[in-house]
Amino acid sequence: MLAMQASRLHHTSNLYFIEEQIRLAEALSRRAFVGKAFFCNSGTEANEAAIKLARRYQVVVRGQPKRTEIIAFENGFHGRTLGALSVTGQAKYREGFGPLLPDVRFIPFGDAEAVRKHVTERTAAVIAEPIQAEGGINLPPPGYLQELKRVCSERGALLILDEVQTGVGRTGTFYAFEREAMQPDIVTLAKGLAGGVPMGAMLATEAVADAFVPGTHASTFGGNPLASAAALYIQQVIDEQNLLARCHDSGSYLGLALSRLAERRRPKTRGARGRGLLQGLVLEGEAAPVVAKARERGLLLSVAGGNVVRFAPPLVVGRAEIDEAMAILDGVLSEV
């Protein structure tokens, strides 16, 4: 597919209609979020676009120039460019890059009372991950996203959901927010969107998206024919191979296997948590030594939140691979 598209047209300016890009926008709007799409090259770019759109919507469309505050969450992660870094609630990523954007407030994740207290007439938007991946596979309490959306709507703030890590089927639904009876105003995607070809996307409801007019935001390479063709193919594969259901089933199997491993290896482990194929094994100590030893034995994992071993395998992973991974990890935990 990539070779075929590259032989036809791999890049042209966004001044012109790009057939593959239009088809991709239509395909994404047939999922659980109907809106307009802006395409870029990465998750951090998608979040930059979302922050800009939220502020412009409040100032230009609603005529509220004092609504500039962005509320973000402690332990959240949204990217490493300046705007996305400004709403990333982890000091280790922010250190040495100040001063960052003003008018950003961090509140505890999962605390509905903090949301009700801090979303005010000055709030342009709240940006959140449905599940904090980089921060430690932190899941909010049931109903939290619904309450977050309710408070934002009631007080005139926009809700941005960063689905860069949780989207495109990772948690067993195309968007993680589908498990809640709510919809954000803006949603961002990247990671698996184009199957490894650089691509990010920001989708917004039509009323919010119309705050952007030609010239207010742009990307030279975003949504180019090659990346758009790759993302379209991913949409096809998700449907034809029933990947969402497979991810849900494999994720349940992985989560159960991790819970059993955690119980067996106490007190070195505290438990397991996650959803779909985004899972974490919570350790009593640092996760880095465990991840390093697992890598030596052919198991690729990562660290989240310092003491959490993060699992984010391919959506096509099978039970045999999961069993093999558990055996390797069990052996590592017996030695550390």
Chain mean position to CA 293? 28
Establish whether 36 is a catalytic residue.
Answer: no
Closest by CA position to 239, among listed 171, 174, 170, 314: 174
Establish whether 117 is a catalytic residue.
Answer: no
- Kind and range of the H or E element at 118? helix 112-118
Closest by CA position to 137, among listed 316, 314, 281, 326: 281
C-alpha angle 219-133-49 in degrees, rounded to nearest 5: 20
Q: Given the structure tokens 């697992």, which residue do they identify? A: 294
| 106 conformational bin, left if phi > 0, alpha if psi -120 to 50, beta if neither | beta
Question: DSSP character for 192?
Answer: G
Enumerate the H helices of 119-179 as residue ranges.
144-155
Contact criterion met (CB below 8 Å) for 307 and 282: yes
Establish whether 109 is a catalytic residue.
Answer: no
Contact criterion met (CB below 8 Å) for 80 and 42: no
Cα 229 from Cα 2, distance rounded (Å) = 7
Of the residues 109, 149, 162, 212, only one is catalytic, namely 162
Q: What is the largest CA-CA distance in the chain?
A: 61
Of the residues 33, 191, 212, 311, only one is catalytic, namely 191
Q: How many CB atoms lie within 10 A of CB 96?
A: 5
Catalytic residue ranges: 77, 162, 191
